[in-house]
Amino acid sequence: MEKQTLQLDILTPEKQVVSATVKFVAAPGAEGEFGVLPGHTDFFTLLKSGNVVFEDAGGSHHVAVSRGYAHVRAEAVSILVENAEKAEDIDIERAKKDMERWEQSCAGVTSEDPNFEIFQAKIERAKARIETAQRVAHR
């Protein structure tokens, strides 16, 4: 009989944010969102900032992640990102202020500027935090 669960690990350089046995994972791939069920084909992909959703015995959970990588195997998903934050831990007002600050810092910066990618990544992360927190707030 095929296994009905996956091991999900979401890791940053500082800590393990999630280690759980799950039924399903959806993540923001660089080429689009993807979902994983037990027995999925193995692959490795880039992630963009966004919302990781997973379902375990306790229900659905959301985690805001920054850019990074995902390694999918038939029995496990490992997500390696610079930053990750569980939805319930996000201060939405602080996230909104962070996004405003980064948008102001980026105003007038062109794609030729060496800091352009850094500003874009910060804005994307702030948006992901806001969207992830709002998903849980609307339950």
3-state SS, residue 87: helix
- Beta carbons of 126 and 95 less than 8 angstroms apart: yes
CA-CA-CA-CA dihedral for 115, 50, 37, 89, to nearest 10: 120
Q: Which regions of the chain carry the CATH code 2.60.15.10?
A: 6-86
Q: Residue 1: which pLDDT band, with cuts at 50, 70 and 90? A: very low
Work out the mean pLDDT of the chain and round it to a whole number: 91
Specify the higher pLDDT residue, 135 or 74. Answer: 74
CATH code for the part of the protein at 91-137:
1.20.5
CATH code for the part of the protein at 6-86:
2.60.15.10
Burial class, 93, CB count within 10 angstroms (exposed 0-12 / middle 13-18 / buried 19+): exposed
Question: Is the per-residue pLDDT at 102 higher than 60?
Answer: yes
CA nearest to 56, candidates 90, 8, 102 = 8
- Give the mean pLDDT of 42-56: 96
Question: Is the per-residue pLDDT at 65 higher than 60?
Answer: yes
| C-beta atoms surrounding 96 within 10 Å | 15
Q: Which regions of the chain carry the CATH code 1.20.5?
A: 91-137
Q: Residue 53: which pLDDT band, with cuts at 50, 70 and 90? A: very high
